[in-house]
Amino acid sequence: MVQIKIFDTTLRDGEQSPGVNLNQLEKIEIAKQLERFGIDIMEAGFPASSQGDFEAVKKIAETIQDVSVTGLARAKKSDIDIAWEALKVAKEPRLHLFIATSPIHMEHKLMKTPEEVIETSVNMVSYAKEKFTHVEWSAEDASRSDLDFLATIIEKVIDAGATVINLPDTVGYTTPKEYGEMFRYIKENVPNIDKVDLSAHCHDDLGLAVANSLAAIENGATQIEGTINGIGERAGNAALEEFAVALNIRKDFYPYNTNLVLKETKRTSDLVSKFTGMAVPGNKAVVGRNAFAHESGIHQDGVLKNASTYEIITPELVGIQSNNLVLGKHSGRHAFKDRIEQLGYQLTEEKLSEAFTAFKLLTDRKKEVTDDDLFVILTDIQTDTSDVKRYQLEAFQVQYGSYNLPTATVALTTPDGSRVETACTGQGSVEALYNTIERLMKETIHLTDFNLSSIGQGRDALAEVHVSMTVNDTPVSGRGAAQDVLEAAAQAFINAVNRVFLNQHSNVTAKAQI
């Protein structure tokens, strides 16, 4: 069995998804979960892109111990230097260096000749190797590059010190046959290719990212890059959970292993979905809510007789437990602590007390508290930002009905500590609520997206709201969860605005440490 390394770029390429805006605390929580998931390499961000990204990459590099942490850099000395400052504290720092190699990119974007691209690549790999033990060199838009040129430049960057060669399908253009043939060509025509790992990075514009990734390993790739839930720019990246489960289920066909802990799959998917605000489609392979649901009578009959008739993947394989323990108002602190530890959370005593208090408040309104409910409590507790100045919702009331103009009254505590209150109308209850909150804030706010979903089942299920907006022309996202839909909507709106203060706080910290 050949060992395939898993390179996760959820925190870099995944965060480039439209509308996704993760703060430092959320990135760290995702990074910890990716570590539990068992990935080999974690791309924590693009340190040179912003002060906030630099600080987040640095913090992740300090925190993560069992995964090699990397950062993205253009073929520029300044990018490499900044990446080194962020990553030098890592247990095993590495650099991901990229430059375009397709004719269309070299001519129209880089405005360089092929010879200049080779020279730049060799010089920057050599420079990076003075600092980093591991240097991954990526041929951006490799799938539309000339194969002879690729072979030439790859041989030279390996001689310069590259330890990983990545051949991305940057625009999701290629097919499995073409992509596999490209890897086979490079394996056969680059004399020093055995000195490096050969990596595949596929985008999903034609829905072929996972299929292309599988074709790559069939033809010599030893590393696969992707994201959780397949998030990323445009149509996203190869979904790592789909790739890994495919290898596991079809081990009769694919003689490959990964280090992924598959029982952590669903939890990792849920965490990324919650923090990014990108809901997992119900029919999504492996982690969608319908992945193990059967409506057809014939299917139901078969599954009841023998699950393998229609289920090729067991729910337990990806961490969906059929014996979902339920806690209630009579559950004590010990039972609560035991359950959250089973869920994989390690809390300080202070955080545990906060979480238990939130749990008890929820049991006053909800008869049974499920793992999904605990997940909401724990992720909110872990990413608490109470030390940052922010708006806080003190009280609200909304009056609406079939024959009345919806009117909302809201009281807020502002970042300077004062209490403000006003009322406003709208065409609907949510619009009235948002108009009122916005009137109490000094920021210029424009809402761009609103999503409502339920957590769990039943009429007492928690409501979860995700919003995207611009605050003073800065794109941000926010989320809120409560049993009342309007309360969840209000919390999501305020959470998004508060992220501006959190980002400002992070940037000040980053500037002080560079």
pLDDT digits (tens, 9 = 90+) for 75-106: 999 999 999 999 999 998 999 999 999 999 99
Q: What is the pLDDT of residue 310?
A: 60
The pLDDT, as a whole number, for residue 294 is 43
> ∠12-152-68 over CA atoms, to 5°?
30
Average pLDDT, whole number, for the chain? 90
**Could you tell me the pLDDT band of residue 505, with boundaries at 50, 70 and 90?**
low
411 versus 381: the higher-pLDDT residue is 411
User: For residues 10 and 30, what is the distance between their CA atoms, to the nearest angstrom?
Assistant: 9
Given a cut of 90, is residue 363 above it in pLDDT? Answer: no
Measure the CA angle with vertex 143, ends 137 and 147; round to 5°. 80
- Helix, strand, or coil here: 200? strand
| Mean pLDDT of the region 478-499 | 93
Categorize the per-residue pLDDT at 461 as very low, low, confident or very high, splitting at 50, 70 and 90.
Answer: confident
Beta bridge partners of 401: 404
DSSP string, 83-119: HHHHHTTSSS-EEEEEEE-SHHHIIIII---HHHHHH
- C-alpha 269/C-alpha 286 separation (Å) is 10
Enter the CATH code of domain 2-276.
3.20.20.70
Read off the tokens for 291: 């992945």
Mean per-residue pLDDT, 8-30? 90
Residue 296 in this model has a pLDDT that exceeds 50: no
Per DSSP, the three-state class of 166 is strand
β-bridge mates for residue 100, sequence order: 140
Residues in CB range of 32: below 8 A, 6 or more apart? 63, 64
CA–chain centroid gap for 220, Å, is 27
Backbone dihedral region for residue 285 (phi beyond 0: left; psi -120 to 50: alpha; all else: beta): beta
239 three-class SS: strand
pLDDT digits (tens, 9 = 90+) for 50-69: 998 999 999 999 999 999 99
pLDDT at residue 503, rounded to an integer? 67
What's the pLDDT band for 364 if we cut at 50, 70, 90?
Answer: confident
DSSP secondary structure code for residue 403 in this structure: T
pLDDT band at 471; cut points 50, 70, 90? very high
Q: Which residue has the higher pLDDT, 498 or 165?
A: 165
**What is the percent of the chain with per-residue pLDDT over 90, rounded to a whole number?**
68
| Domain coordinates in residue numbering, the chain | 2-276, 292-324, 392-513
Q: Please, are residues 175 and 205 in contact by the beta-carbon 8 Å criterion?
A: no
For the segment 329-346, the average pLDDT, to the nearest whole number, is 80
Q: Is the pLDDT of residue 295 over 50?
A: no
pLDDT greater than 60 at residue 12:
yes
- pLDDT single digits (tens) 239-282: 999 999 999 999 999 999 999 999 999 999 999 998 898 889 98
Lowest mean pLDDT among 112-126, 160-174, 433-447, 461-475: 461-475
Looking at residues 401-418, what average pLDDT do you find?
93
Q: Give me the sign of the Cα torsion angle 334, 336, 339, 345.
A: negative
Check whether domain 392-513 has CATH 3.30.160.270, yes or no: yes
Q: How many CB atoms lie within 10 A of CB 256?
A: 20
pLDDT band at 383 (very low <50, low <70, confident <90, very high): low
Q: What is the pLDDT of residue 350?
A: 86
Please give the Cα distance from 307 to 287 (Å, whole number).
Answer: 18
Whether the pLDDT of residue 382 is over 80: the answer is no
